[in-house]
Amino acid sequence: MLYEILYIEARNKLCLFSSIIVFFILLFLNFLIDQHIFNQRNQSNKSIKRLRRIQFSFRWIKQKLTYPSKFLMLLEIEVENLQNTVTEVSKMRQYSVSLCLHPWQEVF
């Protein structure tokens, strides 16, 4: 029992520590991208747009790391939506197969 509690505490601290490390790495990368954008103002708009997209994705990842429960909730909703879509497609497929059968055949 004590070992389980210590294991859970150690795992939580390790998870928190790794999240903090990832957060600072992303913060540093964001700083580098900002510096690069500032230094390369005279470059073409295409490269600046690409860098902005990368910067936006880093900000998105940082936001998801900051609010993991909301992120997991959104993932669960997406998985549920995909499951509903799969069941609807399978029902439509079964119905289309039943339309192709002869009138004396039935689908159970």
Confidence (pLDDT) at 8: 73
Confidence (pLDDT) at 15: 74
**What confidence category does residue 77 fall into, taking pLDDT thresholds of 50, 70 and 90?**
confident
**What is the mean pLDDT of the segment spanning 3-21?**
75
Residue given tokens 């294991």 in the structure block = 7
- In degrees, to the nearest 5, what angle opens at C-alpha 85 toward C-alphas 98 and 92? 10
pLDDT in tens, 28-75: 887 877 776 666 665 556 666 666 777 777 777 666 666 656 666 666
Residue 22 pLDDT exceeds 60: yes
Long-range contacts of 52-56 (CB under 8 A, 24+ apart): 55/30
Residue 24 pLDDT exceeds 80: yes
